[in-house]
Structures are given as C-alpha cells and as structure tokens.
Structure 1
C-alpha cells in the first residue's frame, strides 16, 4: 500500500465515521441530556481514535478496527496497544467533557435565573381556587355567593357547566 492508497483509505474511513457519528447523534437525540452527551463522546472516541500498527512506517489504523480484527482472528499482536490507546483517548475525552460541563453549568444556572418565568411556573405559583367550576350564584350548600368581579381586576373567566 503506497502513501496515496493509505490517504484514500483514511478519507473513506473518515467519511464513514462521520456518517456513523451522525447516526449516533440521531439515535441518542431523545435521551436525557446528561446521558446523551457522554454517549456521544464515547461514540466519537471509538470512531476517531487511531492506533499505530507499524512503528517503522508510522502507519495508523482505527483502534476499534484493530481491536475487533485482532480479537476475531485471534492474532493478538496489536490488541493491547489498541485497547490502551482507546482507554487513553476515552480518559482524555471524558476529562475534557467534564471540564466543559463544569464551565457550562454556572452559565446555564445564571441564564435560567435571569429568564422570566414561564406560563407553567406562573400557574404553579398562583393560589389555587378551591372549586374553580362552582357556580357563582348557587347557594344550595350554604356558601356565600362570590362578589362580582370589579372592572379593574383581571379575574379569569371560567366556563359554566
């Protein structure tokens, strides 16, 4: 394999790995954020971590492929090197992700504190009526009738059943 073939093979692999990463992003899109992001980091590490296969020629190959092929064909010459490279890249990526998450956390906290409350949060803080659908003029059960709404108050209008 000459240098041109080597670069073409890496280009094809990079294109396929980007496609696999896109599929992983689509598959993890529905998950909880703090599970989704580490899984995406792990998939990126598995797809894009190289390991050396020939120290003399300085040729590299994807560490996952070397590990899978050496284990499948029971060759075992580069398995431990590939696994150690994967572990090293995974630790580096996990450390960078933790640093990124720790930097992002107070920024999001302050942004959330500065935002106006949503309609759901406002509804949760409003005092709840005991019987929101009770008729106003019904005095059958000994209740006092509700005072008529004033023009200045913005009382909500409930449907009559």
Structure 2
C-alpha cells in the first residue's frame, strides 16, 4: 500500500465515520440531553480513535476495526493495544466533555435566570396594561387637557342636554 492509498483510505474512513456520527445524532435527537451527549462522545471516540498497526511502518488504523478483526479472527496481537488506545482516547474525550459541561452549567443558569426576569417583567407589564384597559375613559379633574374656564365647567341645564361648541 502506497502513501497515497493509505491517505485515501483514511479519508474515506473519516468521511464514512462522520456520516455515521451525523446519522447517530439524528437518531438520538429525541433523548434527554444528559444521556444523548455522552453517547455521542462515546460513539465519536469509538469511530475516530486510531491505533498503531505496525510500529515499524508507523501505520495506523481505526482502533475499533483492529479490535473487531483481531477478536473475530482470534489473532489477539493488537487487541490489547487497541483497547488501551480506546480507553485513553475515551478518558481524554470524557474529561474534555466534563470541562465543557462545567463551563456551560453556570452560563445556562444565568441565562435561565435572565429569561425568568424578562418573563416576570413582561407579566407585570401585561397586568398593568390590563389595569389601564379597565380605567374609566372620562377625564378626571386633574387632567391637563380639560378646559377649566367657568363657562365650560358645567353644561347648561336646558331641556335638550345639548352642549354647544365654544367658538
């Protein structure tokens, strides 16, 4: 296998692995987040962790493929190396995931509290608007647009009750 073939095979494998991750993300989209995310990290580790096949040539292969083939054909030469590589990459990935969760947690709590404050303010505004909607429409005595001249203070008590406009 030439270097070009080796890189082509890894490129095809990476493309297929990313496709599998995408399908798995779609399949686990309905799950609870604290279960879904660790499962995705686990699958990414299983699909994307390499292990050395031949130390003399520096040839690598996917650790899950080496483990599966060695167990299926009962060879066992590279199983322990592949398993240890999977464990090491898994440890690194889950530590990074834990750091990500610890950074995200206070940010989400702050955003949730901010959202509650905005909703409470909107509820207060809604209650105030409803109270204003039920207020009487007639102007009270302190209304600054009301005419306070003595002639316009009360309509004449004529029989028709008609108010003439002032010119």
Once the two structures are TM-superposed, the CA of residue 71 in structure 1 deviates from its matched residue by: 0.3
Which of 112, 135, 140 aligns to 1:152? It is: 135
User: Which residue matches 2:38?
Assistant: 38
Query: Deviations for 1:74-118, whole angstroms, at most 9, x for unmatched residues?
Result: 000000000000000001000000000000000010011011238
Residues of 1 paired with 2:30 and 2:83: CA distance? 30
Which of 112, 117, 120 aligns to 2:119? It is: 117
How large is the Cα RMSD of the aligned pairs? 1.8
| Count of residue pairs the alignment pairs up | 124
Residues of 2 paired with 1:152 and 1:25: CA distance? 55
Unmatched runs of 5 consecutive residues or more in structure 2: 124-132, 137-167
Residues of 2 paired with 1:21 and 1:2: CA distance? 28
User: Which residue matches 1:19?
Assistant: 19
Once the two structures are TM-superposed, the CA of residue 152 in structure 1 deviates from its matched residue by: 3.0
User: Which residue matches 1:141?
Assistant: none
Larger radius of gyration: 2
Provide the secondary structure at the position in 1 that maps to 2:119. Answer: coil
User: Which residue matches 2:103?
Assistant: 103
Residues of 2 paired with 1:54 and 1:82: CA distance? 12
Runs of 4+ in 1 over 4 A off after TM superposition: none
Residues of 2 paired with 1:97 and 1:152: CA distance? 56
Once the two structures are TM-superposed, the CA of residue 61 in structure 1 deviates from its matched residue by: 0.1
Residues of 2 paired with 1:52 and 1:152: CA distance? 80
Provide the secondary structure at the position in 1 that maps to 2:51. Answer: strand
User: Which residue matches 1:3?
Assistant: 3
Residues of 2 paired with 1:6 and 1:45: CA distance? 21
Q: So what's the TM-score if we normalise by structure 1?
A: 0.73
Provide the secondary structure at the position in 2 that maps to 1:38. Answer: helix
Unmatched runs of 5 consecutive residues or more in structure 1: 123-149, 154-161
Q: Which has the higher helix share?
A: 2
Once the two structures are TM-superposed, the CA of residue 26 in structure 1 deviates from its matched residue by: 0.5
Q: So what's the TM-score if we normalise by structure 2?
A: 0.71
